[in-house]
Amino acid sequence: MKITSKHIERDGSGSVSLIPEEDEDLYHIYNLLNIGDQVRAPAVRNVKSESSTGSIESHRVRVTLTIQVTKTYFDATGSSAPPDPTAAGGANAVAEGEGSITGALGGGSGGEGATMQVSGRVVAENKHVKMGAFHTLDLEVHRQLTIIKDSWDSIHLERLSDSSDVGQRAEVGAVVLGEGTAVVCLLTEHMTVIRQRIEVPMPRKHKSLPSSSSGDKAHLRFLSLVYEAVLKLLGLPALRLIILASAGFTRDTVYEYLFSEGIKRGEKLLTGSEAKRKFLRIHVSSPHVHSLMEVLKSPEVSSQLKDTKFAREGQMLDKFQRMLASDELRAWYGEFHVMMAAARGAIGSLLISDGLFRASDPARRKHFVQLVEDVRAQGGDVSIFSGMHETGRQLNGLTGIAAILRYPLDIETAEEEDREEQERLKAQADANKQAA
């Protein structure tokens, strides 16, 4: 994401103008925006005017509008219809395409990239649009917009910094394989996006996948479709690794087919000296997207992707789950208990979902921002999990917030201490009131 201008005052208020350069940047914008912020961006409106003959004519006019945000919508695949902009409610998000997306990478059935919409009331004068009129802005890649806030907090500024640092990005391709099935994914720093689903009906009788010369049309068609999908992944300039994952030996058969077919076709992307180094074959327990969690935990992937955000998230979540099973007094989750641990300065590692920072209540968001700042001030580590990765969804299943403590704390004892402290403070307040 390119930041074109940034004006933030000492009190935290100000504006940032930026240009999203890829789909992931739209997800960053989705996380930057809160209800009540203002967004200035180009839009197209239908404007009615009276002609010289007295008839009413309608024509489209390109305008720049400033709206105050009442609702946001993000879809990582562009495959889902946005919610009714006139309906009541808060922010909306659609996770990566769990539906059947069978088109080619970057296209196909609705899979044409992320969509981001912001709805609200117009708050700046415009000759074509009345003040207070409701409008929905379609935010697009390569189109500048400006975000105006009363308060840019530390989490906002951290996301701005991360999203504008190209060196922080790392893209990984993954193909999760089953018998006649393949799910082609892209893993970026903050998103897992399903780009293609391949499903080819297999004969009932079990057969191992043959070579391209066996004549089994179904299996050959499956291999050919996977071959074409992998070629499109290899064509992405930022890609550094392609993971082939399966429960059986499908990954090995696909791997062998890719390079034998690549040599046969003279495909440069598969015959270069660096081609095979980009591939990693990993065993998983099932041919589903959630198996990517196993992939991220594997030593082979960890060693190659140790500098990426999503790999660190996977390792941290795995560490928390192991701690929860072996030493539960050091593994706490849930907002109330994590806040209790933070108040005692006991948190060594905080795991928190980015969805909590999209709270529509500013006070609630500030509550979580303060927690992050307090943990860091006490020397603890903070991992903000992306809800667009499987790790983030698993953390959300644990209330979206968890902590690994520096030392064991008994929850019941801590709760009792808190109750006694509250009673003491109440008694002291009552005594001061009577004395006054």
CATH value at residue 287: 3.30.420.60
> Is residue 290 scored above 70 in pLDDT?
yes
Closest CA to 394 of 314, 311, 330, 319: 314
Judge whether 365 lies within some domain.
yes
Residue 233 is predicted with a pLDDT of 83
Residue 95 is predicted with a pLDDT of 37
Residue 395 is predicted with a pLDDT of 93
292 vs 91: which has the higher pLDDT: 292
Regarding beta strands 331-333 and 192-199, do their DSSP bridges make them parallel or antiparallel, or are they unpaired? unpaired
Model pLDDT for residues 102-130, shown as the tens digit of each residue: 433 333 333 456 789 999 999 998 888 88
Q: Which amino acid is at 335?
A: E
Asked whether residue 162 falls in the same domain as residue 30, the answer is yes
Give buried/exposed letters for 384-420 (b at 16+ CB in 10 A, else e): bbbbbbbbbbbbbebebbbbbbbeebeeeebeeeeee
433 vs 401: which has the higher pLDDT: 401
Asked whether residue 221 falls in the same domain as residue 330, the answer is no
Q: How far is CA 368 from CA 267, 288, 320, 340, 352, in A?
A: 51, 33, 20, 13, 9
Residue 4 is predicted with a pLDDT of 93
User: The CATH number of the domain where 77 resides is what?
Assistant: 2.30.30.870
Report the chain's mean pLDDT, rounded to a whole number. 82
75 vs 96: which has the higher pLDDT: 75
Residue 52 is predicted with a pLDDT of 65
CA–CA dist 375, 79 (Å, integer): 39
Judge whether 424 lies within some domain.
no
Range list of H helices, 204-298: 217-234, 250-265, 268-271, 292-297
Q: How many residues would you count in the chain?
A: 436
Which residues are within 8 A (CB) of 352 and not within 5 positions of it... i.e. 6 or more apart?
368, 371, 372, 382, 383, 384, 385, 395, 400, 401, 402
Mean pLDDT, residues 1-24 taken together:
92
Judge whether 426 lies within some domain.
no
Asked whether residue 77 falls in the same domain as residue 198, the answer is no
Asked whether residue 103 falls in the same domain as residue 9, the answer is yes
> Is residue 88 scored above 60 in pLDDT?
no
Q: Could you tell me the sign of the dihedral formed by the alpha carbons of 141, 142, 146, 149, in that order?
A: positive
Judge whether 59 lies within some domain.
yes
Asked whether residue 300 falls in the same domain as residue 320, the answer is no
CA–CA dist 87, 34 (Å, integer): 18
At residue 332's C-alpha, the angle toward residues 330 and 333, to 5°, is: 160
Regarding beta strands 181-187 and 192-199, do their DSSP bridges make them parallel or antiparallel, or are they unpaired? antiparallel
Closest CA to 311 of 240, 229, 376, 233: 240
Q: Which of 69-78, 287-296, 386-395 has the lowest mean pLDDT?
A: 287-296
Closest CA to 195 of 163, 235, 252: 235
Q: Rank 168-177, 245-254, 410-419 by mean pLDDT and report only the highest.
A: 245-254
Burial bucket for residue 33 (CB in 10 Å: 0-12, 13-18, 19+): buried
Q: How far is CA 429 from CA 182, 213, 268, 418, 421, in A?
A: 65, 85, 78, 16, 12
Give the domain-ending residue among 141, 167, 193: 167
pLDDT band for position 196 (50/70/90)? Answer: confident
Q: Which domain holds residue 361?
A: 316-415
Mean pLDDT, residues 296-301 taken together:
75
Model pLDDT for residues 140-161, shown as the tens digit of each residue: 999 999 999 999 999 999 999 8
238 vs 351: which has the higher pLDDT: 351
Asked whether residue 38 falls in the same domain as residue 116, the answer is yes
User: The CATH number of the domain where 396 resides is what?
Assistant: 3.30.1330.30
206 vs 340: which has the higher pLDDT: 340
SS3 282: strand
Asked whether residue 209 falls in the same domain as residue 226, the answer is yes
Asked whether residue 40 falls in the same domain as residue 158, the answer is yes
Asked whether residue 179 falls in the same domain as residue 160, the answer is no
Looking at the structure of the chain, the number of domains it has is 3
> Is residue 79 scored above 80 in pLDDT?
no
Asked whether residue 236 falls in the same domain as residue 102, the answer is no
Judge whether 374 lies within some domain.
yes
CA–CA dist 191, 170 (Å, integer): 11
> Is residue 297 scored above 60 in pLDDT?
yes
Asked whether residue 281 falls in the same domain as residue 385, the answer is no
Residue 59 is predicted with a pLDDT of 76
